[in-house]
Amino acid sequence: MLASAAVVPPGNVFANIEPQEIELGTIDLANNGIRVDGIYFYENINKGPDFMSFDTLTRSLFRVIADHYPILVGRPTVNSKGKASIVVNPDDLCMPDVKEVSVDQPAETFFLHGSKSKADPKTNVKFFDLHRFYSTSGVERIPHATYHRSHSSVIVRILRFKDSSYTALAYSLLHGIFDATATVAFMSHWAEYARNLANPNYKLSFLPIHSRNVMYDRFGEIEPVELPFVKHFKDAAGTAKFDSPDNVAPILLSTPDIPQIAEQHLLHISAKNLERMRQEVDDTQTTAMVLTAVLTRAMVEANTVAFGVEPHTSYVAVAYDSRQRSGVPQNFAGNASFICIAPLSTKRVVGSSYKELAQTIKESSMKTDSAYSKASIEIIENELGLLYHASLSLCNSPQSSYLGFSNVRYLPFKAIDFGYGSPSILAFDYFSKEGMCRMYPNFQDNGVDLFINYTDACFSHLRKNEMMAKYVDFIF
């Protein structure tokens, strides 16, 4: 394995960046210490030597940052008003970390293939085996994008495989700056700049909005609602009191980097089986809601076997994007995603039909408008101690079952085209939270891939669930 030296921005690409300060929002701070990342495989069909050239990728990256995303080269601070912010000082930029890595093995070495019994027999579906890659390729783990220490907040590794059949673009960014929607938008804008690199005056026509006020002003006059999961944890705590700081900004901004958990698993469901599952459970529900119900039941059953005791409560956390439900502009380039947590008794989970369970989860996750989002912000700002206490229960243990489900299937990944075509295989690094599950599109057979962080001991029992065994292809 060979890696190039870190890249120095060409010429005066950052010369026109102006001094500025972007105040961060409460949701940004709540995600500090977590990374967002991806490993996207681009197929080099003709095996051309200039495919996804290093020069094209680096020059376009620096230009799009300079023109539209200077927040990525700023540095965090708590300003005189006690607000967390990113200060962009042209004389002290936090430079991107970009390297080209040569992998002395063919890409096929790290691909697994779907089971013919679950996938379309005519489709040779490939999956990237992250475990095998890190254990046998000699390539170092992609560093954690961070403002702590001397690391960069933008880390890119361009992976060149021995047979030149694929080039993989691996990146790591800060969740404290972007949510999933903003991340894919940034990657798409980077790709757009690469496609237009010959035009030195090229600029985006639909500009990203970095001011957090654009979102928070939407919630100004709205009366927050009571969050069901907050009431649940307050009732459980009884008379216990939890201290919370007057100002959460300094504490959340200093959150240490949260390590990733290597117990990642990949499940695949073909388009045909996805629809068959939906028809069997409830054809009036979305596939995401049906999958959430099936996984919730399956994880309770797996936990019961693994721990030898039935958990008391099953927590189902469903992410939603307030751009879709609260009128926040689609081009808002910060964190606008919130989670709705439904605390369900295990008796209700195992005693309901899948249709009833899907409906219960839907009723909990669909009441997520501006009032819900504002309440989520206020609970972080005013009751951080209670949230910390609650977070200890959001795990898979003898006492509880936990599923955190995010559906990013419909984000425009195909727009991340650097002029060589869209990515054909989407893969991701390890997540930082046990119980997290993200649903991504699979472009090879139009099915979905579920990346789930779940302990190996529990996962071994997951496939015994009847619905999982019937429709799901267990990749690793």
> How would residue 456 be classed by pLDDT, with cut points 50, 70 and 90?
very high
- The answer to whether the CB of 429 falls within 8 A of the CB of 266 is no
- Please give the pLDDT value at position 89: 94
pLDDT, residue 237, reads 82
CA separation for the pair 429, 36 (Å, rounded): 9
39 vs 364, more confident: 39
337-345: strand order across its sheet: 337-345, 313-321, 400-407, 436-441, 448-453, 264-269, 473-474
pLDDT category of residue 151 using cuts at 50, 70 and 90: low
CA distance 333 to 187: 12
- Those residues whose C-beta lies under 8 Å from the C-beta of residue 366, and which sit 6 or more positions away, are none
Confidence of residue 54 (pLDDT cuts 50, 70, 90): very high
- Give the best-scoring range by mean pLDDT among 210-219, 413-422, 460-469: 413-422
Summarised one tens digit per residue, pLDDT across range 57-70 is: 999 999 999 999 99
Tokens of 324: 């879709």
Which of 182-186, 242-246, 401-405 is predicted least confidently?
A: 242-246
Q: How far apart (Å, rounded) are the C-alpha atoms in residues 44 and 49?
A: 9
Cα separation, 13 vs 61, in Å, equals: 10
Q: Who contacts 321 (Cβ-Cβ below 8 Å, separation ≥6)?
A: 179, 181, 336, 337
Q: What is the mean pLDDT of the chain?
A: 92
pLDDT at residue 262, rounded to an integer: 87
Based on C-alpha coordinates, what's the Rg of the chain?
Answer: 22
Q: What is the pLDDT of residue 147?
A: 78
- Positive/negative CA dihedral, 410, 415, 421, 422: negative
Q: Is the pLDDT of residue 119 over 60?
A: no
CA 303 remoteness from chain centre: 25
pLDDT band of residue 369 (cuts 50, 70, 90) is confident
Q: pLDDT for 391-417, tens place per residue?
A: 999 999 999 999 999 999 999 999 999
All residues at 6 or more sequence positions from 453 whose CB lies less than 8 Å from its CB, including other chains = 261, 263, 264, 265, 430, 431, 433, 434, 435, 436, 437
Average pLDDT of the segment spanning 305-313 = 96
pLDDT tens profile 312-352: 999 999 999 999 888 899 999 999 999 999 999 999 999 99
* Average pLDDT of the segment spanning 234-251: 87
Q: What pLDDT band is residue 23 in, cutting at 50, 70 and 90?
A: very high
Residue that the structure tokens 């969740």 belong to: 175
Mean pLDDT of all residues in 24-53:
93
Say how far apart CA 352 and CA 235 lie, in whole Å.
24
- Select the highest-mean-pLDDT range: 7-11, 146-150, 439-443, 466-470: 439-443
pLDDT over threshold 70, residue 116: no
Give me the residue label for tokens 């977590």. 34
Query: Distance (Å, rounded) from C-alpha 98 to C-alpha 460?
Result: 38
pLDDT surpasses 60 at 3: no
